[in-house]
Structure 1
Amino acid sequence: MKQKVTAAYAAEVGRAAFTWGWPLVNMHNRLSIMEQVPEPGLLKGIVPAGPPNHIGMLHDYIRPEERVVACPNQDVVYGFGALDAQRGPAVVQVPDFGDRFWVYQIVNQRTDSFVELGKMYGTKPGHYLLAHEDWDGDVPEGIAGVFRYDTRIGIVIPRVFQDDTDEDRAAVQPVVNQVSVYPLADFDGSMKVIDYSQVPSFGGDGASDGDEETQWVDPDTFFDLLPSVLDEIPARPGEEALYAWFREVLDAAAEDDTIAAALKQAALDADATVRELFEFRNYGIPLAANWTTQRLGARFGTDYLMRTAVGKSNIFVNTPNETSYFYLDLDAQGARLNGTNTYTVRFDADEIPPVQGFWSLTVYNKHHFFHPNELDRYSLGTKNKHLTFGDDGSLTLTVGGTAPTDPTELANWLPAPADDFTLYLRTYWPAPSILDGTWQPPAVDRTA
């Protein structure tokens, strides 16, 4: 006999379920888009994509018009695609990258990483298998390793570092064209090649509608999708009661329109709370001078708040040993960063971000996307060969305000919108001093 559920109780459970399940439904809906892509290519000519168990790759930096993933970077050539365990295992190709930095981020439906593929791991070129933990097929000869996941859906995002030079744009093409994911049935032991500069575009050309990220989670339909999502993602040890709690209310809603209406309203209410997590200053670990960070990226476990906050503000972050991230909404004095002002960021010679991969400082507008500008410049860091260092080895970057007229100062200037903006510091393959918190970003001071 089923227990009676009131609308008020359902609303309380519904708000918790929405906050908990927001990233999981986000991933579910991304697969639904990939299911409409017939072959590796580009969405609207901008974003790499492929059908399930495939990926697409760019052949250059991501463009500022993209709205599929917030907080992209312009240091790497990206790839993107979705795994679907119901369609069987997939093979991921790793070409010989030489000395070039690279890392493949591959996460399950919880946005937790389940692979180690990258330069920091000493990964050898070859073919690797991505398979659900329940798959019991034979692993063919020629597969260098197998990585297992326990959810229906995964996401694959290769990142290949590229200098901001024409020479490196040309040099990176042969290896980028060998980065690929495809069903195990298509594996023949060869290193398949796709010329990603010639792939088709789907869904028309140009930017997505609006200034914000694509709405991957709609409060109006959230609880229609949640039952399927709970089926796609098994409860972790200790989560069984949580799943039962959610299912009890979902079952009640299926039989009672009043309960269903209460759940829909709960989703709308909780969506306002999740939107607050979009602002970096509202979550994470506070650091000096109003920077914040997080150290659970792609290994969130049961930290549901962090999983949703990262999912809302900058989904698909790497694990901290692959990339450590630092976020800034407020200057050193506590005022909101705004591009009508000018700011300086000074790294002492011994405080340049200590990395074995690369680092970059990026400006994002208030929607966490690039601010189009005449210089076509959105970040500065390792990729830039024109940076001017002081005689003492220090590096001073200027952000916002009017473009400097002096060429040397212009080389170290980041344009910002005449509006609120965010600074975002990436450190790929960070040194131990970043991981243990010994190193922190410098203060960002308003100078004009």
Structure 2
Amino acid sequence: MGATGAAREAGGVPPGTVMTPEFARLLARDIYVWGWPIVNAFHRRASFAAAPEPGLVDGVLPAAPIGHVAMLTGYVDPSQRWVAHPNQDVVYGFGYGAVDDDPVVIQVPDFGDRYWVCALYDARSEEFSRLGLQYGTGPGNYLVVGPRWDGEVPDGITEVLRSPTELVAMGPRVFLDDTPEDLEAVQPLLNQMVIHPLSAHTGSPRTVDWRKVPHFPGGDTSAGERQWVDPETFFDELPGILDRVPPLPGEESRYAMMRALLAAADSEPDVAAAAREAAVETEAAVIAPLFHFRTNGTRLDGGWNTPLNVARWGFDYLTRTATAKSNMYVNQPEETRYFFLEYDSQDRRLDGDKRYTITFPPGQVPPVDGFWSLTLYNPEHFFAPNELGRYSLGTKSGSMTYAADGSLTLHIQHEPPAEGQQANWLPAPRGAFELTLRAYWPKSGIADGSWTPPPVHQV
């Protein structure tokens, strides 16, 4: 079939069709929203590729060469700016693979009954794995291969997982409570959580003392997350992206239209200029507002928002892009449900100069089989420094106190609360802030919507 026939088969524009700058601008805006999370992912992977070995950038951010993962040994440091909206309930690890070229082996230790999950994401930030306590995953070696890989699986591999794309982002998460005893107890398990390329696999168990890995300079001191997508170069990068990320079934015509725009831009400077201008305009007018959690997901009573299809986007390009902009690399719905809040029960912006409470009635703390937490962020979706170094409360917080009737009230404010309430105090900064409630391994009440977070009231 010739090029013209192929374009028609895909439902696209035949090659050579005249494309006006006005039409190019219209098409480019849609393409920019579609491709923003994917270009984002490739840039993040490129930033990791510079690491000479698994270690920590500036002593706080895990980074590793392609095919490896670096693990933290405690909660994520408040100063990191690589990814917005982290939590302080788990020990994170992170890394990237290029699994068509060289698959990766995930060595999973015996975590016992400690909650853990190893999320694997394709280039669309779609999670394709089911590895963790809730899936009954046992210790062993798990091989992650790409869509075009056709090599030999070595002995000793427990299971083979095939990624939809050659780019794989790998994010282990291991629960940690806030006691020094648990911090020490988790270290031997973390040291056995090792991910490495198949080309370096020997079949022998590996351990890494993650407390002794090297530190690399990074120099990122920005207030918010670094910019991962440049609208000025987006359409220059897009051809290579399309070659490496095959279309989903049903996206063939979309790919044909994108290639038609790129072909026209190659031969028509005014079309190329129109596409670039549209990208810049869309970044400001469409992408930037998606950073705010009120634009992400479904609105609930009390001002909470929740996305229902995290990490399982399909053709929901809106939520995929909103999440990549605001809090990339989330868990799929049966692993974690996220509830976001920027305004109180009277629709007033949360402000640390005010005092707030959230009360869970008796027996109505978030229903989970894993754990839950309420985390406070500044408007850039990072932790707001405070003297306690406390950024969340929840299952990890063994010192929280319940009322005589079994209810739980948390106090959210800048100044210390009254005597006897300090254990339930979530310190807020001066000025605006926001809250996220996470429910790991949610029970059916969260999944079917019969349980939602209570409102946050200004005192």
- For residues 2-401 of structure 1, the aligned pairs below 5 Å read 2-204=16-218, 208-272=220-284, 273-401=286-414
The one-letter amino acid paired with 1:411 is A
Task: Give the % identical residues.
Answer: 49
Q: Distance in 1 between matches of 2:187 and 2:249?
A: 44
The one-letter amino acid paired with 2:193 is V
Q: Secondary structure at the match of 2:29?
A: helix
Q: Distance in 2 between matches of 1:252 and 1:28?
A: 25
The one-letter amino acid paired with 2:398 is K
Q: Flag structure 1 segments of 5+ consecutive residues without an equivalent.
A: none
Q: Report deviation, 1:87.
A: 2.6
Q: Report deviation, 1:86.
A: 4.0
Q: Report deviation, 1:405.
A: 4.8
The one-letter amino acid paired with 1:296 is N
* CA offset digits 1:262-295 (Å, max 9, x no partner): 1111111111211111111123111111111011
State the aligned residue count.
444
Q: Report deviation, 1:445.
A: 0.4
The one-letter amino acid paired with 1:211 is A
- For residues 423-438 of structure 1, the aligned pairs below 5 Å read 423-438=435-450
The one-letter amino acid paired with 2:401 is T
Q: Report deviation, 1:189.
A: 2.2
Q: TM-score, normalised by structure 2?
A: 0.95
Q: Secondary structure at the match of 2:280?
A: helix
Q: Report deviation, 1:134.
A: 2.0
Q: Distance in 2 between matches of 1:289 and 1:146?
A: 44
The one-letter amino acid paired with 1:420 is A
Does 2:397 correspond to 1:403? no
Q: Secondary structure at the match of 1:248?
A: helix
Q: Secondary structure at the match of 2:142?
A: strand
Q: Distance in 2 between matches of 1:87 and 1:199?
A: 26
Q: Distance in 2 between matches of 1:209 and 1:271?
A: 23
Q: Secondary structure at the match of 1:344?
A: strand
Q: Report deviation, 1:403.
A: 1.3
Q: Report deviation, 1:133.
A: 2.4
Q: Distance in 1 between matches of 2:210 and 2:96?
A: 18
Which deviates more, 260-269 or 75-84? 260-269
Which deviates more, 303-312 or 181-190? 181-190
Q: Distance in 2 between matches of 1:413 and 1:311?
A: 30
Note if contact 2:91-2:175 (Cα within 8 Å) is conserved in structure 1: yes
Which deviates more, 274-283 or 111-120? 274-283
Q: Distance in 2 between matches of 1:45 and 1:255?
A: 47
* CA offset digits 1:143-163 (Å, max 9, x no partner): 000110121211000000001
* CA offset digits 1:174-204 (Å, max 9, x no partner): 0001111111122222221111111111224
Q: Distance in 2 between matches of 1:262 and 1:400?
A: 48
Q: Distance in 2 between matches of 1:27 and 1:198?
A: 28
Give the counterpart of 2:428 among 416, 424, 427: 416
Q: Report deviation, 1:401.
A: 3.2
The one-letter amino acid paired with 1:303 is D
The one-letter amino acid paired with 2:410 is L
Q: Report deviation, 1:324.
A: 0.7
Q: Distance in 2 between matches of 1:144 and 1:133?
A: 19
Q: Distance in 1 between matches of 2:45 and 2:266?
A: 25
Q: Flag structure 2 segments of 5+ consecutive residues without an equivalent.
A: 1-14
Q: TM-score, normalised by structure 1?
A: 0.97
